[in-house]
Amino acid sequence: MTPENNGLLHFEVDAKTSLFTVQAFAAGMVAVVLHSPKFAIRDIFGEIHYRPVALDNGSLLMNIGAASLEILDEVSSVDRREIERTMFDEVLESKIYPRIEYKSSQVHANRISDSMAHLKIGGDLTLHGITRGLALDGQVVAGEDTLRAQGYFSIMQSDYGLRIASVAGGSLRLKDELKFAYFIMARRKN
């Protein structure tokens, strides 16, 4: 969309320069000696629309390939295969539910400067075939041709019908909560 459309600007997420991670946490006594796995989300598509004079009228759509998660931790090839098999086949069931989607329904902005704002975004996350409301807080820096956003949020796996994973013969069990961090770079599209 172009600025002639009532000043509405259209940006698309640049997956190569964006960083989106999810952190799982080991549970129980074994958590002291075993690590809590961290994954990068590689397959990201997103669209952001907003009017610079009224950020409150913006929208966000993010789409993620469920099978694109990649473990960032240094683990043996055997452990890596087991963690990925468990995550894709048993937890995410990525062949049945290949996409994860977030769609905003409202955006509230608190301007910090002409180019920076703190955002509160209300919307819905669809994960594992279940859609639930999810609020996001973050900061955005908007330039003429780029938009950068960063923030954090958490979800409970049980809210989305995800099986709580255990690997390594059951010696590593994960907590219900997952924490996400994002640094999104988006480029203006005309």
Whole-angstrom Cα Rg for the chain: 18
- The per-residue pLDDT for range 132-143, each reduced to its tens digit, is 999 999 999 988
Cβ atoms within 10 Å, residue 137: 11
Closest by CA position to 151, among listed 183, 113, 103, 107: 183
Question: Contact at 8 Å (CB) between 69 and 22?
Answer: yes
Average pLDDT over residues 102-113: 91
For the ranges 25-29, 60-64, 115-119, 167-171, which has the lowest average pLDDT?
167-171
Give the CATH number of domain 9-189; options: 3.40.50.1820, 2.40.128.110, 3.40.50.1170, 3.40.960.10.
Answer: 2.40.128.110
Q: List the domain boundaries for the chain.
A: 9-189
Handedness of CA 166, 44, 119, 56 (dihedral sign): negative
- The per-residue pLDDT for range 111-139, each reduced to its tens digit, is 888 889 999 999 999 999 999 999 999 99
| pTM listed for this prediction | 0.88
